[in-house]
């Protein structure tokens, strides 16, 4: 992917939620990025229109709004409440001008071992939300999560599975349902080239997230690397995504206790370095 900063977006999780959203917007714009992906925890309870204006005034696009409430529930009522919650969040996504609403769909309901059942609940929930998304004009981006999150975060775990769900629920390819490709979740997939090519051919790529896989990985959730620090072949995957026709922003999304120890401006400087200069300075973690 092109290395110019204005083609990149910063997911606010990367900065560890250390500042109010207004300051975060300004810091990301000041660092030279072209977009932001805020989280609901930073937006809900605030004045969404004020936040949206601050983002616009800073000259930033909103590459995605993070993220859905997990869909599966222990009862039909719980499921319906989760879907309703997402419907409300979708309206905020529209007010923010988000280019997509990121669906991290959820895993097994508490006490359950029924993966097919969880996946059916997801299918039904996304079908419901698609109607609202179409009305609002905010595309839904199904994000396949790494299989190590299948139990507790997302039972959609491969690009192929996400695309099959898109085909099922939106056969006409209305542009309101697609996927978010995150290298952390998908880099290992032996079918990655075919899957990305198919995603492009079917017009489904709504977002592209970068970060890195560290060896060793000390924690399932909070030990991602900045792009270039780990073993993911970002050049090749970026080329696949570009060749598949994706022209949106490349979003830097890193969850890391190690990174979050630094102040936001330092983290942003490290993100800039990892994008502009490439991997060399970050290789200390690769065995």
Q: Which of 172, 190, 247, 284 binds a copy of itself (CB under 8 A)?
A: 190
Using CB under 8 A, which of the segments 41-49, 91-99, 151-159, 254-262 binds a copy of itself? 151-159
Using CB under 8 A, which of the segments 3-11, 60-68, 196-204, 229-237 binds a copy of itself? 229-237
Write the DSSP assignment of 201-212 as a string of letters: HTT-EEEEEE-B
E-strand ranges in the chain read 8-11, 35-37, 61-62, 101-103, 140-142, 177-182, 205-210, 250-252
Q: How many Cα atoms sit within 13 Å of 173 on the Cβ side?
A: 10
Q: Which of 50, 131, 148, 168 binds a copy of itself (CB under 8 A)?
A: 148
Number of residues that bind a copy of itself (CB under 8 A): 35
Using CB under 8 A, which of the segments 82-90, 97-105, 188-196, 254-262 binds a copy of itself? 188-196
Taking the least distance from each CB to a copy of itself, the nearer of 136 and 231 is 231
Does residue 182 interact with a copy of itself by CB under 8 A? no
Sign of CA dihedral 270, 2, 247, 167: negative
Q: Which of 220, 261, 265, 281 binds a copy of itself (CB under 8 A)?
A: 220
Closest to 93 in 3D by CA, of 68, 65, 67, 135: 65
Q: Which of 24, 121, 157, 274 binds a copy of itself (CB under 8 A)?
A: 157
Tokens of 243: 């060749």
Does residue 146 interact with a copy of itself by CB under 8 A? yes
- Within 8 A by CB and 6+ apart from 48, the residues are 92, 95, 96
Using CB under 8 A, which of the segments 2-10, 42-50, 103-111, 247-255 binds a copy of itself? 103-111
Does residue 111 interact with a copy of itself by CB under 8 A? yes
Longest dimension (CA), the chain: 51
Does residue 167 interact with a copy of itself by CB under 8 A? no
Residue 109: φ, ψ to 5°:
-65, 155
Does residue 171 interact with a copy of itself by CB under 8 A? no
Residue 173: φ, ψ to 5°:
50, 60
Closest to 211 in 3D by CA, of 225, 231, 191: 225
Residue 210: φ, ψ to 5°:
-120, 155
Q: Which of 222, 231, 239, 273 binds a copy of itself (CB under 8 A)?
A: 231
Residue 2 CB, nearest approach to a copy of itself (Å): 20
Does residue 113 interact with a copy of itself by CB under 8 A? yes
Closest to 200 in 3D by CA, of 239, 242, 168: 242
Does residue 206 interact with a copy of itself by CB under 8 A? no
Does residue 168 interact with a copy of itself by CB under 8 A? no
Helix (H, G, I), strand (E, B) or coil at 58: coil
Taking the least distance from each CB to a copy of itself, the nearer of 103 and 156 is 156
Residue 7 CA to residue 252 CA, distance in Å, equals 11
Q: Which of 18, 167, 197, 217 binds a copy of itself (CB under 8 A)?
A: 217
Residue numbers at the binding site for a copy of itself (CB under 8 A): 108, 110-115, 119, 146-148, 150-152, 155-158, 161, 187-191, 213, 215-217, 220, 230-233, 286-287
């Amino acid at each position: 992917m092109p290395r110019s900063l204005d083609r990149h977006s910063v997911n606010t999780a990367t900065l560890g939620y250390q500042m109010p959203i207004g300051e975060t917007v300004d810091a990301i714009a000041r660092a030279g990025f072209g977009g932001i992906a805020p989280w609901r925890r930073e937006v809900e309870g605030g004045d969404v229109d004020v936040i949206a204006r601050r983002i616009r005034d800073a000259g930033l696009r909103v590459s995605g709004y993070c993220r859905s409430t997990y869909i599966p529930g222990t009862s039909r009522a719980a499921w319906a409440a989760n879907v309703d919650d997402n419907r409300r969040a979708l309206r905020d996504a529209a007010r923010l001008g988000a280019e997509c609403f990121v669906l991290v769909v959820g895993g097994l309901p508490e006490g359950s071992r029924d993966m097919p059942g969880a996946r059916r609940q997801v299918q039904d929930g996304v079908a419901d939300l698609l109607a609202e998304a179409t009305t609002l004009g905010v595309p839904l981006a199904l994000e396949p999560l790494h299989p190590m999150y299948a139990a507790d975060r997302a039972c959609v775990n491969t690009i192929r599975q996400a695309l099959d769900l898109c085909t099922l629920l939106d056969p006409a390819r209305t542009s309101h349902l697609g996927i978010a490709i995150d290298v952390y979740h998908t880099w290992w997939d032996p079918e990655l080239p075919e899957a990305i090519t198919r995603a492009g051919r079917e017009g489904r790529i709504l977002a592209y997230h970068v970060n890195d896989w560290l060896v060793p990985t000390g924690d399932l959730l909070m030990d991602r690397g900045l792009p270039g620090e780990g073993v993911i072949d970002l050049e090749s995957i970026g080329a696949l995504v570009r060749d598949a026709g994706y022209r949106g922003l490349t979003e830097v999304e890193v969850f890391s206790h190690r990174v979050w120890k630094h102040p936001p401006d330092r983290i942003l400087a490290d993100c800039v370095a990892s994008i502009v200069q490439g991997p060399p300075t970050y290789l200390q973690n690769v065995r």
